[in-house]
Structure 1
Amino acid sequence: MPFNPLEQRGIPLDRQVRNWRELNVEPIDPDHTDPYTRCRIITMNGIEVEAILFSHQFARHCPDPQVKQRLAEVRYIEAQQQKAVNWLLPGVSSVLETTIAYEQVAVDLTAWVARMEPEPYLRQAYQFGVLEDFDHLYRYANLYEMIEHRKAAKIVDGLTEVMPGRPTPLHHRHPADNVREPYDKHRTDPLSKLHALTIMSAEQQTMNFYMNTGPTYMEPIARQLYQEIGLIEEEHVTHYESMVDPGETWWEQLVNHEYNECYLYHSFMEQESDPKVKAVWELHLNMELEHLHLACDLMRRHDGRDPAEVLAPELPNVLTFEPNKAYLRELIDTQLDLTTLGTGYVREAHERFEAMQESLHGGQPAPSEQVMIRHRDDFGREYRHQTEGDHPVPHLREEL
């Protein structure tokens, strides 16, 4: 049934502040919860973090004290939402277990968006990025078995395969080649704006997570791998944020953020299997409906336009976490050898790419390759988890 958040009213803002008891959410049980519930939690944490950071940046560029006050009121609620969502994650999970869940999010969220993206250029950007996230999952899974002597298959529950994607050492490109062309806000499908904002937010939180958790490990090989993949996540944020039209006004960006939160909370509420978590999604959706209306009021007052001009008339089909195994294997078969040049993609190494590779690696194995060498030394094999009907995926050489 179509759902138009512009026609729905939520909880009044002055009734949205929660006390400590209400914020004391019960975390999920990682051994008995659908892995995609954890993926939805991680995704919404990233969305809420982006909402908070965007609101702070808006406030720093806004001269109107009344607007800044309204932003602060909504931002405080967003901060409470972020705490409630992120605190659903269990404290018993190790950093590496959470990391593997983060990469499962990156793989299956980006693959789903790529499948649904209506614009070919944007779709290619998601297809390119997901093959790198896929390999990150593979590298962390090998590190996990080395350090904790456990298998990533239990965390992803067979929903996402663990095998090589585009080799991680090849993800290090000249920064200029990480910038994509933006969509045109006047002509792009409203769904494309939601996709870009969602994946940018998810990658941003992964970048932040690795920046802060990487040095907490004692094992040198773990510290090095987090450092390497953390740098690649910075590339990914550059890749995705550059797809957003820089001509969007602050007010357009504000309503897009709030509309996207309604879209995602609605999507996850529709598919959530855990009743306690579903109740959180439903509560936050009803909060976000009011945030959206407040943002629309600000846009009408200060931008002189009706938000309906830039927003979809109704929410698109729900964003769904589901296996994407066949789709990812098709991308591995057809796009594994791509790299970037300017705002496009090429299959051959070029001078700028090779210079960056030499500057960074200097002929030495990258940390992500050292993990594989160590794992093969320790176990006599690499760690992979593929489902029935597997066909062997060749391990590409680590340099072009």
Structure 2
Amino acid sequence: MPSDDPSTVTPSTAAPFLRGRRAALLLGSLFLVSVFAQVDRILPFILAEAIKAELALSDTQIGLVTGLAFAACYALLSLPMARLCDHGSPRLVLLACTLTWSVMTALGGLATGFASLAASRFGVALGEAGAVPSSHSIIARRIGPTRRGIALGIFSTGIPIGTMVGFGLGGAIGEQYGWRAALVAAGLFGAVVGILAAIAAGPTPPIRRAASDASFWQESRALLAIPAFRALLVVAVCIGFAATPFYAFAATFLIRAHGFSTTQAGVAFGLSQGLLGAIGTLAGGRRFDASVRAGRAALLRAPMIAFAVAGLCTAAALFVADARLCVALMMPAMFAFAFMLPFAFGAAHRVAGVGREGMASSLAMIASGLVGPALGPLIVGVLSDGAAAAAAGARNGLAFGLLVVPAACAATVIACRIANRRMATAPPRSILDDGPPDLVTASTLRAG
């Protein structure tokens, strides 16, 4: 059996594709990795009120912890992690990253103030920066090309399911046993899942690269020089400003504005997000494939419509008096954010061309995961604190802060329209186009 030692690796010794039960075990374990990565990421959202009360934090500080402290580290490290996975053993990267974010999640349960809580979130982001690139690399090396799409779909479904588990089960555990217990439990289970995934993956040794391969910076500059790709990065930035503040404060809004308990908010928001997220991800994937096959010039037309509806409904949800109607009006946004995932990455892959999909994904992750997540929750927190102070402690001050979400949805619609025009004037290469890839060596293709 091949080892993970780079000195023994050649294309001919690359690990074979998995089939049957081994493939199912790998995909199941990677799905769980995706679930717990999302759980550990969003737990502070549903636990925010309890954390804020015990540690005496402001909404601005909560916005920093859930936004800047996580997003800056996560986004900035995604490209180096992707490069490490491409040129090293993604199994070892996944194991190290999973253990890192799980331990730091558990340590967050021991936080005594803002500084220690923020430090733990930096640690979680450090580990989770490698979750997607390492998992995608393992799938590429261990799952055959004809089943790779469904494999990536199964992995991505862990995002909405993880959100549902985090909000629902996390909120219940937090209310019953305290927010500290919820963080510690999530960390322990995440570590076990990471070890299981590393075992299921089997050997994923480094693949030798030709000396003429494009460098890290050459690949990045080449992609950023494409106008259509730059337009897609603007779309990703707008999505980050819409989605992250929504997830960071929606449950807290239900608690403050409509008197939900932590468990009620977690179940109502988490269950809705989990179901609509899973449906949206699968529906988005099928719709994207259908749009590609039909050769539509306006590839992003469907998500444009979804975000337009989401923005209008979210704006209304912030000011309705009925709690059930409020939750119902939040659902289009939950669907739209998930529906957009296959379109965002799929369009970026098509514009980038064969052999640059991984780098395209990493740049898109940075665009969506840095600016919006870093500044969005902070802006919401500042606006909320300002509105509450201006209205003598009004409970619904958070509604004014959350208007950032529908505004960002509107910006996403505009950005998608511009990106559609750019892609139409410069037709992208499909991953199914004939001809040899320009940045992938033949040995890499043979190794899977």
**TM-score, normalized by length of structure 2?**
0.24
**TM-score of the pair, normalised by structure 1:** 0.26
Higher helix share goes to which structure?
Answer: 2
